[in-house]
Structure 1
Amino acid sequence: MDKIYIENLEFIGNHGVFPEEKFLHQKFIISVTMETCTRKAGVGDDLTHSTHYGFVSEDIERVFFSKSFDLIEALAENIAKEILIKYPLIKNVKVMVKKPWAPIKKHFDFVAVEITRSRNIAYLSIGTNIGNLKSNLEEAITNISSLENTQIKKISNFLETEPFGDVKQDNFLNACLEIETLFTPQELLKELLNIEIKMGRIREIKWGPRIIDLDILLFNNFIVQEENLVIPHPWMCERSFVLDPLNEIAPNIVHPLENKYISILKRDLDKSI
């Protein structure tokens, strides 16, 4: 990735936890590093293919003066969010907020917070086998598209499949989505669980009937192993109802553990059935 730098913007403001910081002016120094691709801009000498650092600087200033933040962590978070939302060519942004006049009774140069935030690509599996199956999937897609700072980029065709496991139940209707989001994996999981609850999902029988099932299959090339979340989805390589629609929209994505394209994983599974 190429990088665009804005170094050491200086502002005087009233950010801090202590009451006196709300009225005593302090200096803040803000730097951002934005990862993007400048190739088209460089070859064509055309600003429309790059990001205007003057406009970004103005947006940083606007966020800075939008409110009095208690924490410079919150100020940095809001600056990163503003840049990622407003400038689609920026894939990742690093924000550093320095506070050289922080109320510390020691000699120091500055205190600072540095964060890195990204546009994330995730692949979701959605399925249902209760009620009006097509309407259920369409409602889930609408709910996902309504999530904050989240866009659906691709939707596979809907695929009718037989149920997985030993529970006798109706066939499922399944699909896969590609989304772009500013959420972390845990934040995205929380939002998807809320959608399931909103749509009436009740967890009674493992692999049993469900009005909606929303799973995170892949998230960038992350490997996540936490108590409530495993990415890549641990059983995705064994399930045709996942790999078939996923291959439709993302055949050339590489599984970060198997180190194989989705199209190859689908071919391997088809041969084993």
Structure 2
Amino acid sequence: MDRICIDELKIFAHHGVFEHENINGQNFYVNAVLYVDTEKAGLTDELEHSVDYGMVCGVIKEAMTQKTYKLIEAAAQAVAVAVLKSSPLIVRTDIEIRKPEAPIDMEFGSVSVKISRSWHTALIALGSNIGDSKSIIAEAVKKIEQNEYIRNIKQSSLIVTKPYGYTEQGDFLNGALMCETVLSPHGLLDLMHGIENEAGRTREIHWGPRTLDLDLIFYDKNIISEPDLTVPHPDMQNRDFVLRPAAELMPDYVHPVLGCKVSELLERLNEK
């Protein structure tokens, strides 16, 4: 991927743990790498096919000065997200924030934080069988839409399905949501758990009734196997209530473990 680089952008801001840093302010230097496909711009010599780096410098300055942060890690996160949102052509950005005037009682050159952020595609399964399930799911989707780290949300139709696993409970309302996010898989999982908790979700019975169930099904082509997170969802190929909404949103997505399109997995399940 091609890169547009902005080096040593000097910005006066008020970030720091100590009160005097917030009051007096100091100089920060921002280095940014924008990952952009510049071929069309190179062939046409038209700015509309590339990214206006002057505009991006303004975006960086605004992100650095509109709010005071204790940590430059937080400032870097804000800058990265602002840069990614500034143009649909930017698919990834590397941000470094240098703090040469940091309050360190020793001789040093600079202190800096470097981060890399990009857009990722995620599929989230939606489910509920307690309360006003339609309203509960709609509120969950709204909270996801309003999150600053998520964009381009598409929601499937909602379907009524029989309970899976633990059958002594009412029917479920199920669906799925596809989005782009700058959050990591665990960051997205934390967001989902927070929304579940706000909806009154409890985990008393495995596969039991719930006000809201949010499951991370896919995250790009990533394969994750950790105690608290498995992606792709390990049992999705056996769940009609996951596959039907998923096939509506991303029928041609190839399962990175099973090597089949989502639409093919649904066909196989239907054949059974």
Worse-superposed segment, 101-110 or 204-213: 101-110
Secondary structure of 1:140's aligned partner: helix
Q: When the two structures are superposed, what TM-score results if normalisation uses the length of structure 1? A: 0.84
Matched, 1:226 2:226: yes
Matched, 1:239 2:239: yes
Q: When the two structures are superposed, what TM-score results if normalisation uses the length of structure 2? A: 0.84
Q: Once the 2 structures are TM-superposed, how far is the Cα of residue 197 of structure 1 from its aligned partner?
A: 2.7
Secondary structure of 2:59's aligned partner: helix
- Matched residue type, 1:127: G
Q: Once the 2 structures are TM-superposed, how far is the Cα of residue 261 of structure 1 from its aligned partner?
A: 2.5
Tell me: CA distance 1:172–1:15, structure 2 relative to 1, closer, same or farther (3 Å): closer
Q: Once the 2 structures are TM-superposed, how far is the Cα of residue 188 of structure 1 from its aligned partner?
A: 2.1
In 2: Cα distance, 1:2 partner to 1:228 partner: 36
Q: Once the 2 structures are TM-superposed, how far is the Cα of residue 117 of structure 1 from its aligned partner?
A: 1.1
Q: Once the 2 structures are TM-superposed, how far is the Cα of residue 133 of structure 1 from its aligned partner?
A: 4.0
In 1: Cα distance, 2:243 partner to 2:42 partner: 39
Tell me: CA distance 1:69–1:142, structure 2 relative to 1, closer, same or farther (3 Å): closer
In 1: Cα distance, 2:139 partner to 2:9 partner: 45
> How many residue pairs end up in the alignment?
272
For residues 20-63 of structure 1, the C-alpha deviation after alignment (integer angstroms, 9 at most, x for no partner) is: 65678765332111123334434443323322100111222233
Secondary structure of 1:202's aligned partner: coil
In 2: Cα distance, 1:183 partner to 1:221 partner: 15
In 2: Cα distance, 1:216 partner to 1:74 partner: 26
Tell me: CA distance 1:64–1:136, structure 2 relative to 1, closer, same or farther (3 Å): closer
Tell me: CA distance 1:187–1:44, structure 2 relative to 1, closer, same or farther (3 Å): same
Tell me: CA distance 1:263–1:103, structure 2 relative to 1, closer, same or farther (3 Å): same
Partner residue in 1 for 2:160? 160
What is the percent sequence identity of the aligned residues? 39
Worse-superposed segment, 152-161 or 17-26: 17-26
For residues 223-246 of structure 1, the C-alpha deviation after alignment (integer angstroms, 9 at most, x for no partner) is: 333332222212112212111210
| Contact 1:154 1:179 survives alignment (8 Å) | yes
Q: CA RMSD in A?
A: 2.8
- Matched residue type, 2:189: L
Worse-superposed segment, 45-54 or 173-182: 45-54
In 1: Cα distance, 2:156 partner to 2:89 partner: 25
For residues 127-158 of structure 1, the C-alpha deviation after alignment (integer angstroms, 9 at most, x for no partner) is: 12234443443333233323333235222222
In structure 2, stretches of 5+ residues that fail to align are none
In structure 1, stretches of 5+ residues that fail to align are none
Secondary structure of 1:255's aligned partner: coil
Question: Mapping of 1:90-101 within 5 angstroms?
Answer: 90-101=90-101
Tell me: CA distance 1:135–1:71, structure 2 relative to 1, closer, same or farther (3 Å): closer
Secondary structure of 1:257's aligned partner: coil
In 2: Cα distance, 1:141 partner to 1:75 partner: 28
Matched, 1:119 2:128: no
Q: Once the 2 structures are TM-superposed, how far is the Cα of residue 216 of structure 1 from its aligned partner?
A: 0.9
Tell me: CA distance 1:104–1:202, structure 2 relative to 1, closer, same or farther (3 Å): closer
Worse-superposed segment, 44-53 or 239-248: 44-53
4+ residue runs over 6 A deviation: none
Partner residue in 1 for 2:204? 204
Secondary structure of 2:188's aligned partner: helix
Secondary structure of 1:51's aligned partner: coil
| Contact 1:85 1:149 survives alignment (8 Å) | no
Secondary structure of 1:4's aligned partner: strand
| Contact 2:128 2:212 survives alignment (8 Å) | yes
Worse-superposed segment, 251-260 or 155-164: 251-260
Worse-superposed segment, 103-112 or 257-266: 103-112
In 2: Cα distance, 1:266 partner to 1:183 partner: 29
Partner residue in 1 for 2:9? 9
Matched, 1:64 2:40: no
- Matched residue type, 1:78: A
| Contact 2:81 2:149 survives alignment (8 Å) | no
In 1: Cα distance, 2:152 partner to 2:89 partner: 17
Q: Once the 2 structures are TM-superposed, how far is the Cα of residue 69 of structure 1 from its aligned partner?
A: 4.2
Question: Mapping of 1:79-90 within 5 angstroms?
Answer: 79-90=79-90
Tell me: CA distance 1:8–1:263, structure 2 relative to 1, closer, same or farther (3 Å): same
In 1: Cα distance, 2:211 partner to 2:67 partner: 43
Secondary structure of 2:200's aligned partner: coil
Partner residue in 2 for 1:195? 195
